[in-house]
Structure 1
Amino acid sequence: MNLSDLEKRITVLEDIEAIKKLKARYCAICDEDHNPAKITTLFAPDGIWEGAGVGRHQGHDAIRKLFQSFQERISFSQHNVMNPIIDVSGDRATGVWYFIGPFTMRNGNRPMWLGARYEDDYVKLNGEWKFAHLRAIGRMSAPYEKGWAK
């Protein structure tokens, strides 16, 4: 293997680690009361947050408003993401993650379990990875007391 090939491989590994950190920052911000000001820093200016039952929200203003609505509905969340499959191609990448987490909904102080699959597109802007399109695909939503099997 020549030096150029080795440099390319190292760059891909560094990009994958940077994308993992981006997703970890996303989860941390969600769990900090879905901070609308902070969340937009993780998205490209024309980035998209999309979820079934929640809709498609494009651009920083729309994403900020979405996260303000999350603040109004959710009093507690713990985002746990796992099993990333990340593919990098230059300044673009894709990622698939699985998510499970406990939530407390403000309405009725209801504890819930939520599970989802994230399908993300990323773009590298000015040397920094951002979400170009985050898709949250719901797989499970269940009251804490009853679980998801019923």
Structure 2
Amino acid sequence: MSDSSPDLAAELAALRQRLDSLEARTQAAEDHLAIANLQRAYGYYVDKSQWEHVADLFARDAVLEINGRGRFIGHERIREYMRHFGPPKRGLLMNHMQLQPVIHVEPDGVHAHARVRALMMVGQMGDHAMWGEAIYENDYLKEDGVWKIARLKAWQVLYTPYDKGWAVEASPLLSEFGDFPPDEPIEAYPVFPDYFCPPYHYRNPVSGRE
């Protein structure tokens, strides 16, 4: 019996190590799914002008940057920003499809990052219709045990009239609201048709290059 005890202890230690590894991988998978669902939920709420639901997705000290409108800091300021768009109206289309998520959870299990593409169909019946595209580079925080958006950074790629398309016309970077100034301005950046690639939060997964 004494000869087998060291082997048994080593086997138990190895099993504990494997169990710890599996638990960590399971938690990481659950976190990945929770963040993906969080971002998708954001898109669905924006689609229907459900601004209170949108604001609820943000952490207490969150930061919001969309296009060139500036930086809005803190949960309540983000709620004000969302309410600025007003209630849904007949004939209003605001579809924000959340596509191609690339998600990374930090080893601490409470911070994460995602790059997501938004394809937008926006407009008002009888007035205008636009195609739009944006790239999100977002940060997330597990706050009070729940994943929330800690920083939403939407880089405008293009807006173009539906009836003309991007081969004919493209809108400039959307700037600040005249009646609702941001907490901080942000520096302008190029949009289509100029070339610009919003910075990645991750390295190349094969080569490791930035």
Normalising by structure 2, what TM-score? 0.66
Identity of aligned residues (%): 34
| Selected match of 1:94 from 113, 119, 132 | 113
What's the Cα RMSD here? 1.9
- The residue aligned with 1:61 is 76
Tell me how far 1:73 sits from its aligned partner. 9.9
Question: Structure 1 CA distance, aligned partners of 2:83 and 2:58?
Answer: 16
Q: 1:136 to 1:73 in 2, by over 3 A?
A: farther
Q: 1:26 to 1:124 in 2, by over 3 A?
A: same
- Larger Rg over CA atoms: 2
User: Equivalent residue for 1:135?
Assistant: 153
Equivalents in 2 of 1:87, 1:132: separation in Å? Answer: 14
Q: Secondary structure at the match of 1:145?
A: coil
Q: Which structure 2 segments of 5+ residues have no match?
A: 1-16, 169-210
- Distance in 1 (CA, whole Å) between partners of 2:88 and 2:135 is 21
Give the alignment's TM-score, normalised by structure 1: 0.91
What is the one-letter code of the residue matched to 1:99? A
Residues in 2 aligned to 1:100 and 1:124: alpha-carbon distance in whole angstroms? 27
Compared CA separation, residues 41 and 73, structure 1 to 2 (3 A) = closer
> Are 1:80 and 2:97 counterparts?
yes
Match in the other structure for 1:32: 48
Corresponding position of 2:202:
none
Q: How many residues align?
A: 148
CA distance in 1, matches of 2:93, 2:32: 29
Q: C-alpha separation between the residues in 2 aligned to 1:60 and 1:23?
A: 17
Work out which of the residue numbers 13, 19, 22 in structure 2 matches 1:3. 19
Higher helix share: 1
Which structure's residues are more often strand, by fraction? 1
